[in-house]
Amino acid sequence: MELSGSLRDFPVEDIIKFLSLSKRTGVLSITGVDVRGEEIKGDIFFKEGRIINAKGGEREGEDAVFYLLTAKTGNFSFVKQDNEGVKNLINKDTEELLFEAAKKVKLLEDVIKRLPPFDTVFEINPRPSSAKISLGKNEWYILNMFRGGKSIKEVVKESSFSEGDTLSAILSLFAGGLITRKEINIEEIIPRKTEKKGETLNTSITFGPPLYPTPDPEANRVYTAVDGRKNIGKLIKALRMDRKTLLYYLLVLMSQGYVIIDTDAETLHRIETEVRG
């Protein structure tokens, strides 16, 4: 390994500039967390200091360079390799490429600050505050993607537009009141087990003091009933347990890493509030 270090000490942009100026040939690997707080991983390929390609997530080429430049924390490594078999998908000068990417990253950061968390589920607002709606083609397309309810993350992933254009459209729709948070029915959520296994569950809850005793048999009974098919409403009936008690044990199991509750942060907060109420 020729170079390695932390992105806290050496931002991705500075590493690229160094490799470009020193005319390096090889691959720069990035592993870390991006401006959205999500894991990020990918590679940037250099040929005599020039970026010829990049891969990250499901992206390739310039989009992948932009994606990897959003990494704020994590680690990097650079190793020599001839890159003879790597497709040359990038023909821009490195300085020009970084300039364009920096503008996109800044736009992304600004949009993220003004939007709710990416796991927030929105739906089309049937009663928007404005009687007169004027939208561009991109915004109409993105608006229709929220029909029936989708999270910001899902729309970004499924959109045929770039991430920046998609988020800008979502922000416009959100600010204009054309999309609204979708109220999720807690009893329709389907909890599922993780890969973690254990005969005895540690049932001390991590986000606060226990509300009432948590004997292992009850926690195990809930854990056994979770099969990835029954929603919370069906689990209440199957276990003959009141809703608040079941939600409590699900939170306990989730806090210990035994169960996943697939929902957004706001709904999870509603569950915690109900349990504590």
Mean pLDDT of 103-124: 86
Across 59-68, 231-240, 252-261, least confident range: 252-261
Band the pLDDT of 196: cuts 50, 70, 90. low
According to the model, what pLDDT value does residue 76 have? Answer: 95
Going 252 to 117 to 276 to 228, the CA torsion angle's sign is negative
Most confident region among 69-83, 124-138, 182-196 by mean pLDDT: 69-83
Strand, helix or coil at 266? helix
200 band by pLDDT with thresholds 50, 70 and 90: very low
Most confident of 23-32, 66-75, 105-114, 159-168: 23-32
CA distances from 274 to 194, 248, 257 (A): 24, 9, 21
Of 181, 187, 191, give the one whose Cα is nearest residue 253.
191
Map residue 236 onto helix, strand or coil.
helix
pTM above 0.85, yes or no: no
Give me the percent of the chain exceeding a pLDDT of 70.
91
**CA distance linking residue 146 with residue 261, whole number of Å:** 22
- A 10 A CB-CB count for 186 gives 18
Question: Regarding predicted confidence, which is higher, 184 or 17?
Answer: 17
Is residue 265 very low, low, confident or very high in pLDDT (cuts 50, 70, 90)? confident
The residue-averaged pLDDT of 65-69 equals 91
1 band by pLDDT with thresholds 50, 70 and 90: low
Query: 103 pLDDT band (50/70/90 cuts)?
Result: confident
Domain positions in the chain are 3-101, 121-181, 186-276
Q: Please, how many CA atoms are within 13 Å of residue 223, restricted to the half-sphere of its CB?
A: 24
Among the ranges given (16-30, 45-59, 132-146), the one the predictor scored with the smallest mean pLDDT: 132-146
* Cα dihedral value 143, 156, 54, 65, nearest 10: 80
What is residue 132's predicted lDDT score, i.e. its pLDDT?
64
pLDDT at 5: 92
Q: For position 27, what pLDDT does the model report?
A: 96
Q: In 3-state terms, what secondary structure has residue 65?
A: helix
Q: Which pLDDT score is estimated for 130?
A: 65
Neighbours of 9 (CB within 10 A): 8
* SS3 state at 170: helix
Asked if pLDDT for residue 171 goes beyond 80, the answer is yes
Could you tell me the two tokens for 256? 């210990």
* Whether the predicted pLDDT of 52 surpasses 90: yes
Task: With H, G, I as helix, E, B as strand and everything else as coil, classify residue 80.
Answer: strand
What are the angstrom distances between the C-alpha of 192 and each of 65, 75, 134, 173? 36, 32, 43, 33
Give the Cα separation of 150 and 174 in Å (integer). 13
- In this predicted structure, what is the pLDDT of residue 197? 57
Residue 274 is predicted with a pLDDT of 87
What is the per-residue pLDDT for 207?
37
pLDDT tens for each residue of 8-18: 899 999 999 99
